[in-house]
Amino acid sequence: MQVILDLCLVPMGVGVSVSQYVAECDRVLQETGLKHELHANGTNIEGEWDAVMAAVKLCHERVHAMGVSRIFTAIKLSTRTDRHQTMDNKIQSVKAKLQ
């Protein structure tokens, strides 16, 4: 089962600047080899469900290991069984309608 997922970890109780933790999650995703794209409110990831969810778990473990004792996370995801879809497909579909 393929999934396209938007991940947003919010470290709590460690100040209002959290970019170092977002950067750490980016490093985790680079290590996994999963396709991912940082945006202003999260990071989009695509891949097989188990691989993506393992990466999401690892992001939490690594951010906790940096000394963050509480993390709030918002995730949006979509799965579909009718056809394979990528993040690029999704954006191109919308852009095609806008022309």
State in angstroms the smallest separation of the CB of 34 from a copy of itself: 13
Binding site for a copy of itself (CB under 8 A): 1, 4-6, 8, 10-20, 22-23, 26-27, 37-42, 44, 46, 49-50, 53, 57, 60-61, 64, 69-82, 87-88, 90-91, 93-98
State in angstroms the smallest separation of the CB of 45 from a copy of itself: 9
Taking the C-alpha atoms of residue 55 and residue 65, their distance in angstroms, rounded to an integer, is 15
- AA identity, residue 66: M
Residue 18 or 34: which CB sits closer to a copy of itself? 18
Taking the C-alpha atoms of residue 55 and residue 95, their distance in angstroms, rounded to an integer, is 30
Residue 90 CA, distance from chain mean position? 16
Taking the C-alpha atoms of residue 82 and residue 22, their distance in angstroms, rounded to an integer, is 33
Residue 33 or 38: which CB sits closer to a copy of itself? 38
